[in-house]
Homo-oligomer: A and B are copies of this chain.
Amino acid sequence: MRGLLIGRFQPFHKGHVYVVKKVLREVDEIIIGIGSAQLSHTLENPFTAGERLMMIANSLAENGIEKNYYIIPIQDVNNNSLWVSHVRSLTPPFTKVYSGNTLVKRLFSEVGVEVKTPPMFNRRVYSGTEIRRRMLEGEPWEDLVPEAVVRVVKEVQGVERLRDLAKTDKA
């Protein structure tokens, strides 16, 4: 049995690792769909799909997970009615979806696919929003993500990128 976990992963963090491990106890293979794959270089979506894919693959390896997963970038379609078909056309067949996003849940449930809210792990702290806030304000964020993510963020100068994007436009 295959399950789909959908997220934007801006960035991938330890809460996500926890969810992936939990899900892998329930399914044989996990498909990790990188949502809003076309977005990058914004305050809400600083990292490209390729960068996020690297974060995820390396983090899983770091946690001893080297197979039984697919990581698939999924671009938005500007039409919610097409989104489920869009996801299905890009992924191997799955029978379960894991997401806490209310739109994702509604869209899949309307076509009869079971959606489970994944078990979360201290969601107030392990959240993309919190991690981006810390990056911006110079607070420590490294403990919230796998070491592999720290490396990718460094390599692409992610913190500098985020801070540059946050600067007030002066011209």
Which positions in A face B, CB cutoff 8 Å? 37-42, 48-50, 53-54, 57, 66-67, 70-73, 75, 77-82, 84-86, 88-93, 99-103, 105-107, 109-110, 117-118, 120, 123, 161, 164-171
Contacts and interface: CB of A to CB of B under 8 A. Distances in A.
Nearest to A41: B80
Contacts of A110: 161
B118 A171 contact: yes
Nearest to A86: B82
13 contacts: A38-B89, A48-B81, A53-B70, A53-B91, A72-B73, A81-B88, A81-B89, A82-B85, A82-B86, A101-B169, A109-B164, A120-B170, A120-B171
A164 B48 CA distance: 30
A165 B81 contact: no
A157 to B, nearest CB: 8
Contacts of A101: 169, 171
Given A75-B75, A92-B50, A101-B169, A81 B40 contact: yes
A84 B109 CA distance: 18
A53 B120 contact: no
A55 B40 CA distance: 30
Contact of A99 (B41, B103, B171): B171
Contact of A41 (B78, B81, B86): B81
Given A41-B106, A42-B103, A103-B165, 13 more contacts: A40-B79, A40-B80, A48-B89, A50-B88, A50-B91, A73-B73, A82-B86, A84-B85, A99-B171, A100-B169, A102-B168, A105-B164, A120-B171
